[in-house]
Structures are given as structure tokens and as C-alpha cells.
Amino acid sequence: MIFVTGDTHRLMDVKKIDIEHFPEQKLLTRNDYLIIAGDFGGIWTGDEQDDDVLDMHESRNYTTLFVGGNHENYAALNSYPVEEWNGGKVHKIRDHVLHLMNGQVFTIDDLRIFIMGGATSVDKIWREEGVSWWPEEEPSEDEFKEAFDNLAAVQNNINYIITHTLPEKVRNKVFSVYSDFLNYDSGVEKFLNLIMENIYYEKWYAGHIHIDREFPEYKIRVLYNGVVKLK
Ligand SMILES: [Fe+2]
């Protein structure tokens, strides 16, 4: 079984995956998965201060998979070895905690899942590079190219898309009532517009904006506290 949820932000937003809020986990095994749609935050200081977060995830009886958010220490994350896993590339953080890398198509339980993490931090001017902000929060052109190649290899036909942010078009809908502050340009959100228009998918899950909301017209569901089972 595969479940997906929104941002966990180290230990700040993990209540939603405790036994009370996610009771299904009692019956799961290491061959079942919880996918966190970015802002996992478990790799943040890049040293033993991350252990509490990583040990908590590793102690569960399922396997934790996470998409990159805009709040991850990418310098530390990218220092982990890259491994091939279920058809795509991962960083292996712990035996049962894996980072699903950008632009990959994984086949898990016969479902094809496309991953694109990353987002633009709107508050980055108040953050410090290498301490609380990393430029790799925006995926690179190479990652976009790899994504198109991997999608072409499966005839642009996917069961699930899991991303951190939303396509620009959808994000603008969410924030249309807010100020110009949120009127920013984001390469990954423009890329996701292309994905939305050109790829066949059954359902898309995203995190990032800290709300739980369904956009049926785009087959997109934004998750924050929701924990949803795929199929
Ligand atoms: Fe977040």
C-alpha cells in the first residue's frame, strides 16, 4: 500500500502521521510506503541533530519516501549516495528512509509515479544561504530534461504525479486573493504547467502551501494534514 501526505517540517508537523491520525500504519510492512510531498526537513543541520527526526521515521513499520521541498538542506542531501530503486534514482538516507529524486518515474506496486520536488521560497531574502536556504530548492534544467526523457520512456502516461509545489496556473488560483508579494516567478511551477498540459495522469498530489484542498478540474489534491491512500 502507498500513502501520501503533506509537509512534515522536521518534527513540527508530524502529528498527522502518529498512530491516532494515521492508524492504518499498524498493519503496514516495510513494503508499504508513506510519501511525504516535500518539506520533509529531516536533513536540515546535516549532522547528528537530524537523528531524532530520522530515527522517528526509521522506527515506523513502513518505509518513508520523501520528495524534496524548498526547506531541505540540499548540500547535505546531495552528499548521500545515489541508488537505483524501483526504476528511478533515490538518495538512501536510512534503510527505510529514501529521498525520491527529481524527474524520476518510479514503479511501485505496479503504479507509475512521477516525482518533481522543489519550490521557490518566497521568504528567501530573510534566509541565509547554506544555513536556512539552498539554491537547489529550484530544480535544475538538467533535472527538467531528465524528467521529460523519463516521461517519454513511459509514453507520457503516469498513474500519479507527486510534487512539492503546484503548477503556476493552479498556484495563482490559490493565491489570487493575496497581495503582489505572492506574485513571484518560479521555474518549477512553469515546468509543472507543461506537465499538466502534456502528460496523462490519473491524480496529482502536492504539498507546499499548507492547506488541504481538492482541485477536481485539474485532478490535483493539495495535502497538508491529510494522509491519503493511493488506489
Ligand atoms: Fe512547507
Task: Show pLDDT as tens, one digit a residue, over the chain (231 residues).
Answer: 999 999 999 999 999 999 999 999 999 999 999 999 999 999 999 999 999 999 999 999 999 999 999 999 999 999 999 999 999 999 999 999 999 999 999 999 999 999 999 999 988 989 999 999 999 999 999 999 999 999 999 999 999 999 999 999 999 888 765 555 567 789 999 999 999 999 999 999 999 999 999 999 999 999 999 999 998
Cα–Cα distance between 43 and 226 in angstroms, integer? Answer: 23
pLDDT at 172: 87
Nine cell digits for residue 136: 537547489
Cα–Cα distance between 90 and 136 in angstroms, integer? Answer: 16
**Ligand 1 centroid, distance to 59 Cα (angstroms):** 23
**Ligand 1 centroid, distance to 94 Cα (angstroms):** 22
**Ligand 1 centroid, distance to 210 Cα (angstroms):** 6
**Ligand 1 centroid, distance to 58 Cα (angstroms):** 21
**Ligand 1 centroid, distance to 71 Cα (angstroms):** 7
**Ligand 1 centroid, distance to 101 Cα (angstroms):** 18
**Ligand 1 centroid, distance to 154 Cα (angstroms):** 30
Task: Confirm if 57 and 97 have CB atoms less than 8 A apart.
Answer: yes
Task: Give the residue numbers spanning the domain of 83.
Answer: 2-229
pLDDT at 231: 85
**Ligand 1 centroid, distance to 12 Cα (angstroms):** 10
pLDDT at 228: 98
CATH of the domain at 106: 3.60.21
**Ligand 1 centroid, distance to 208 Cα (angstroms):** 5
pTM above 0.85, yes or no: yes
pLDDT at 184: 79
Angle 37-42-44 from CA coordinates, rounded to 5°:
115
